[in-house]
Structure 1
């Protein structure tokens, strides 16, 4: 019996133990209004995980995921973060929005683990608001506003602009702050008026009256809003006979809302990639088809893309660090300068875990049909003091 036991021990020692899977914890909204943003980006992240596993895994190990529902609730976000940590999460993916994702991200920060916001575009969703191990997979809202300012000036001869800010969420303020920073710097460009409204306002009649009282119709209206308020504002602006080129951020990408604005034209947004099959980069359309194969439909907006990007960048940093340790992986992420991804180059620094410049596709809606008309990278990255405004 002793000989048999000894032989069994020797056999066990001779066979290396199977490495445990790496666990990604998704503390995201699977219900509530944030679900519409979180689910597509989380699906994209899982597509990249499947690709990584098919190619042999990460550090020689397979990657699995666990999930907890934040229910679009801040208190539940904190609970969801703790839940996925209890289930063994080695890194955490949190909601698209800083306010709803940060409680979960803070729980990862306490443990010294990496967290990635799916598509948060507020600078606080990183070093400034969570800590040194928090990153975002998306492009900052001020970059979108600055892109619209510089592109419209260069390509549509915009010299006068009216800024119309929906003050409901920080994202909108970020778009306008980027536009406000860039546009006045441009030759002959002037902001001729500005106004505010709330996303759920039934009417913006008084704001429209002030636009129409200007000596000349502005070349562009910088509308910083999201659906449904953005659609309502656009419909009212056009119904009032105002034909200015209307600009907005990526939040209104997609054709799902266009029934509310029949025949819409001269409406432009910047996006990280095109969902419409006309992106000049074949990698983007390859992803669109992978997403359709996984879900039965193409992405409804470009907000799916940051999920794929974040998982790609994190995996590269883990392989380069040779470990899952949060400090080591953070150091590798912060070394990235113009790191190639399917959706354009990405960079991080110790001061900024976001993109303050990015190559954007310019999508214009003409006769209710969206499509890529151009591409643009701002000439100067948005400075940190503007991002913190």
Structure 2
């Protein structure tokens, strides 16, 4: 039903592009596990397209789109990128994750075309891994880890931390690198241990044994993972009687996985906006309602939001450049310093096409119910050398 509602809401926008239209190419996962991240963010981008078209379009032209399915496969990603270029794309939007979006983005880079990762949070999803015309609509994973380090100390008195890294994808490593950078910088804090696992590991019993062998239970466990591995790890940690405050990144935002961890408490994540109707900024709830109107349901996680942000920023840059030319649009994007968006200000520079500093809402789960508990902005941007580790 959700897919039918979405198709109905956007049917008029999905016609094949004509020469006078501006064409956006979505080379994204419409199948496979990445679809759960790509579809909401792509839907948000299409909502912004609809709004722009309803207000007269961009450069006096309507925006249309074409799509190709990467199938959550790196080889298919490269093919999808080439397909949307062949179908006339003027800019390209690629998958949320660097590993799966980069092959498509590299095909856009070869054409001198601007590309945006829907919600990738690894610094390589940009200049460092693709090239000078590549950007991300999201906030870096390292910022999320650093945010949780500083917030947990300031608000919860955390002095000892344990790092548990899921090494499956680069995003997870970014969360932990941000925590590793920020937490020891705070006076009186210490990382008392660290361990690794894989997302598809059925058991983390040995890792839990090592946590329980510590002289004292750590104040916080920085769990750097995504669903389903994160849910499994949380369930096992709590089943073992470990009551530390568990922290993670935005990838586990949403209540869709909480049936796997009944009555969970003491779990907190940073998000760009709240899907729960309690965000302090009215613009965020206005978007949630627009999303529900388009799809029949509210966003399942905050990963929808970067799609809206990237389309908004790209359109502003195109208007200011008066052109779709990749170099001209890139130059305008790099001039954005604290550019207002519905989800907070955004900045790009000639060295970094990501956000290494941003206000985050802190969502905490208590008795199985997630809600905004606080907001936090890290005291200083995460340096580029930390992002590149």
Q: TM class by shorter-chain length? A: over 0.9
- Listed one character per residue, the Cα deviations across residues 86-129 of structure 1 (whole Å, up to 9, x for unaligned) are 11111000011111111111111111110000001111110011
Q: Which stretches of structure 1, 4 residues or longer, exceed 6 Å deviation after superposition?
A: none
Counterpart residue number, 1:303: 303
- Where 1:298 maps in the other structure, the secondary structure is coil
1:274 is aligned to 2:274: yes
Counterpart residue number, 2:78: 78
Cα distance, 1:19 vs. partner? 7.6
Structure 1 gap segments, 5+ residues each: 1-17
Counterpart residue number, 1:374: 374
- Where 2:381 maps in the other structure, the secondary structure is coil
CA contact under 8 A between 1:163 and 1:222: conserved in structure 2? yes
Distance 2:214 2:73 in 1: 43
Cα distance, 1:56 vs. partner? 0.7
Counterpart residue number, 1:363: 363
Distance 1:78 1:202 in 2: 32
- Listed one character per residue, the Cα deviations across residues 322-357 of structure 1 (whole Å, up to 9, x for unaligned) are 100100000000000110000011000011000001
Cα distance, 1:206 vs. partner? 1.2
Counterpart residue number, 1:3: none
Counterpart residue number, 2:314: 314
- Where 2:362 maps in the other structure, the secondary structure is strand
Distance 2:206 2:39 in 1: 37
CA contact under 8 A between 1:27 and 1:68: conserved in structure 2? yes
CA contact under 8 A between 1:334 and 1:347: conserved in structure 2? yes
- Listed one character per residue, the Cα deviations across residues 124-180 of structure 1 (whole Å, up to 9, x for unaligned) are 110011110000001110000000000001000000001111111111111000000
Between stretches 80-89 and 369-378, larger displacement belongs to: 80-89
- Relative to the length of structure 1, the TM-score reads 0.95
Distance 1:118 1:313 in 2: 13
Cα distance, 1:377 vs. partner? 0.6
Report the number of matched residues: 372
Between stretches 193-202 and 302-311, larger displacement belongs to: 193-202
1:39 is aligned to 2:39: yes
Structure 2 gap segments, 5+ residues each: 1-17
Counterpart residue number, 1:167: 167
Distance 2:72 2:228 in 1: 18
1:132 is aligned to 2:137: no
Counterpart residue number, 2:256: 256
- Relative to the length of structure 2, the TM-score reads 0.95
Larger radius of gyration: 1
Distance 1:378 1:260 in 2: 31
Distance 2:335 2:136 in 1: 15
Counterpart residue number, 1:14: none
Spell out the pairing of 1:38-77 with structure 2 (5 A cutoff): 38-77=38-77
Counterpart residue number, 2:27: 27
Cα distance, 1:209 vs. partner? 1.2
Spell out the pairing of 1:228-247 with structure 2 (5 A cutoff): 228-247=228-247
Distance 1:97 1:234 in 2: 23
Distance 2:54 2:357 in 1: 32
Q: What RMSD, in angstroms, separates the aligned Cα atoms of the two structures? A: 0.9
- Where 2:313 maps in the other structure, the secondary structure is helix
CA contact under 8 A between 1:168 and 1:199: conserved in structure 2? yes
Distance 1:124 1:247 in 2: 24
